[in-house]
Amino acid sequence: GAFVYGRNTGIIYNNQMDDFSQPGLSNYYGYAPSPANFIQPFKRPMSSMSPIIVTDSNGEVIFIAGGSGGSRIISSVAQVAIYNLWLGKSIRDAVDMPRLHQQLIPMEIELEKRFPVNVVHGLLARGHTISSFRGGCVVQAIERRHADELWAVSDARKGGAPDGLGYKHMTKSFQNWFRRTFQRSKEQKILEEEVKKARLLSPK
């Protein structure tokens, strides 16, 4: 991120400005500068962010994933989705599986070290240029296994763990913050009631 946070909200600001291209400079991930992505007033930078939400035929959410890691986000999130939805792997295994990345520029395939040797040999035999996976990508994902059962996974490539909690499991300080942030205060409720009464009494 930007190493800056809002004192009132506690929100940590990101480093989205880094997604813009700069004339004459390739970015960290090897992309050449693109005039379509140069900094201009009121312009948003192009981004590789690609969160995904998958629903079944009834519209019920069955899979959610998102990642961090620049241009590698797109291929990494796609591979986790393929492993889970098409190949039937658990969400844990889908996130843990070794990944590859190809972004056309430079024309090479990046592989994580754990990639199966037979696949590496097959790619080399077909004339592909192979390199080691630089920078990596971290994917967080959730799958719904049953109507009332959600499984969440945090990528071990970065450390951390998934978490979910109800209000009663929050610490006292977090409960106080939660109430201040998301719940109406007693004064707000009284004011809203007064406004409703005033509207009812006002002439049509």
Q: Which residues are documented as binding site for L-glutamate?
A: 19, 47-48, 70
> Strand (E) positions, 69-173?
100-101, 109-111, 130-132, 138-146, 149-154
Token pair of 9 as six digits: 């909200």
Within its chain, how far is the Cα of 10 from the centroid? 20
Check: CB of residue 115 under 8 Å from CB of residue 100. Answer: yes
Neighbours of 14 (CB within 10 A): 12
Residues written for the chain: 204
Query: Distance of CA 112 to CAs 119, 130, 191, Å?
Result: 12, 10, 59
Residue numbers belonging to the annotated binding site: 19, 47-48, 70
Q: Tell me how many degrees the CA angle 196-197-198 measures, rounded to the nearest 5.
A: 90
Under DSSP, is residue 150 helix (H, G, I), strand (E, B) or coil?
A: strand
- Cα atoms in the 13 Å half-sphere on the side-chain side of 110: 18
